[in-house]
Amino acid sequence: MPRTAIGTSERLLEELRRWVEHETPTTDARAVNGLLDIAEGELRAVGATIERIPGRDGYGDTLIARTPPGVGQGRPVVVAGHLDTVWDHGTLARSMPFRVEGDRAYGPGIFDMKAGSFLAFHAVREILRQKTLTRAPIVLLLTPDEEVGSPTSRAIIEREARGACAVLIPEPAAGAAGACVTARKGVGRFEMQVRGRSAHSGGNWEDGRSAVVALARKILEIHALVDLDRGVTTNVAPIRGGTRPNVIPPEAGCEIDLRVATAEDGERLERLILGMAGSPEEGIEITVTGGMNRPPFAETPAVLALYEKARALAAAEGYDLPKGYRGGGSDGNFTAALGVPTLDGLGCTGAGAHAPDEHIRWPDLAPRGATLCALLETLGD
């Protein structure tokens, strides 16, 4: 069966540059939707069936592009990427202009994950444009809010994944070896607020109840939950509290990040952290909100079978594709938790996600894109 021609890395980088230079901070729905407009127009032009779900709560829309009826049989393959980035408007002009230095291309969001989302879009567009025969139908999701936990797109991702034979996530390739991802930790996010009682720190210290001190005690309890052997970590940041050195602080608060390797630990630690709410002493009241945001993504036999397929296709493109385990979450956590075979980290190689030196190794665009495209063509029941 003829394969889709993906194009050269130079040609891919030229178009990817336009995506990078269209800044899309998560908090700007209009900016995200502007890039969705471009993708939608290109996909409509080659015959994709488009569903666009309006955004809510200040986030952009979600785009669902499907191969038309008659293309492929059985359950679809879903490929899901996000268009939002952590970078504010003006980052390109102030500190991170798109630039190419040797085999690296720099720019805000290029690694996480405009390169991967672009490769997914490009693969689907070219499969349709070149009328390539595929084993299964294809569903492409482009979402607006992954960087803040996918609050509006999670239900859509899960809905599409439930009927799929496999899910592909073109998040950045992992590490220097460019590994794809077969497991990820689950992620919990919480907010703790403490109310105390203000007083003059010299004149009537004994009448005060320091919210900062109470919070500090809880922070030590949260830190004590770390168990590296079990894959459990916690992190407390940012922290706030107090107004002036001579005022006993009546309020304090923090945010809490929890990472776990198993669903059981997620449930256990969620209960423990939420259980820290209450009144541990007279004059102190603690509230805790939040919970597990992303379930753990476990490596299963079905995931490993999907990985071996990808590894063989990568070898045909001339490179080795190792597998890896990541502590960070992605939308793949949602689909893997449903029991759907999910392979993550299928985007481009590079480094510096969320950092000023964010970059991809642009010569890898074509071989990585070809592997993703071949998976879309050949997976199926």
The enclosing domain of 320 has a CATH number of 3.40.630.10
Give the C-alpha separation, 271 to 258, whole Å: 12
Residue 314 lies in a domain: yes
pLDDT at 254 over 80: yes
For residue 70, the model assigns a pLDDT of 85
> Same structural domain for residues 89 and 168?
yes
For 37-165, strand residue ranges (E) read 49-53, 62-66, 77-82, 99-101, 104-106, 138-143
Are residues 30 and 172 located together in one domain of the fold?
Answer: yes
User: 348 and 282 in contact (C-beta within 8 Å)?
Assistant: no
Task: Please state the domain count of the chain.
Answer: 2
- Whether 1 is in a domain gets the answer no
Exposure class string for 337-352: b at 16+ Cβ within 10 A, else e = beebbbbbbbbbbbbb
Which residue has 């991967």 as its token pair?
A: 116
Identity of the residue numbered 81:
G
Which pLDDT belongs to residue 59?
98
Residues 102 and 210 occupy one common structural domain: no
Q: Are 98 and 161 in a shared domain?
A: yes
Mapping DSSP onto H, E and C, the string for 195-243 reads ECECCECCCCHHHCECHHHHHHHHHHHHHCCCEHHHCEEEEEEEEEECC
Whether residues 271 and 341 fall in one domain: no
What pLDDT, on the 0 to 100 scale, is given for residue 288?
98
Per-residue pLDDT reduced to its tens digit, 289-321:
999 999 999 999 999 999 999 999 999 999 999
Token pair in block for residue 115? 């390169």
pLDDT at residue 268 in the model: 98
- Determine the average pLDDT of the residues in 268-294: 97
Report the pLDDT value the prediction gives residue 250, as an integer from 0 to 100: 98
**What is residue 300's three-state secondary structure?**
coil
Domain limit, last residue, from 294, 310, 329: 294
Q: Which residues contact 343 (CB under 8 A, 6 or more apart)?
A: 166, 167, 168, 169, 180, 181, 182, 303, 306, 307, 310, 332, 375
**Residue 64 counted as domain residue:** yes
What is the per-residue pLDDT across 63-122, written as a single tens digit (0 to 9) for each?
999 999 988 999 999 999 999 999 999 999 999 999 999 999 999 999 999 999 999 999
Same domain, 315 and 289: no
Q: Are residues 333 and 347 in the same domain?
A: yes
State whether 275 and 319 are in the same domain: no
Closest CA to 169 of 345, 352, 370, 356: 345
Q: Please give the residue range of the domain that contains residue 167.
A: 9-184+297-378
pLDDT at 1: 57
Instruction: Confirm whether 3 is domain-assigned.
Output: no
In a domain, 251, yes or no: yes
Give the residue from 247, 273, 294 where a domain finishes: 294
- Quick check: is 261 in a domain? yes
**What does each C-alpha distance from 65 to 4, 12, 52, 187 come to in angstroms?**
18, 20, 8, 28
pLDDT, mean over the chain? 97
Where among 278, 294, 310 does a domain terminate?
294
Q: What is the CATH number of the domain that holds 250?
A: 3.30.70.360
Q: How many residues does the chain have?
A: 381
Which pLDDT belongs to residue 3?
Answer: 85
Whether the Cβ atoms of residue 192 and residue 288 lie closer than 8 Å to each other: yes
Is residue 213 domain-shared with residue 244, that is, in the same domain? yes
Same-domain status, 301 and 166: yes
Same domain, 14 and 107: yes
- Based on the fold, state whether residues 146 and 203 are members of the same structural domain: no
Helix or strand (DSSP H, E) at 55: none
Q: Which residues pair with 255 in a beta bridge?
A: 191
Q: Which among 232, 240, 248 has a CA at the least distance from the CA of 327?
A: 232
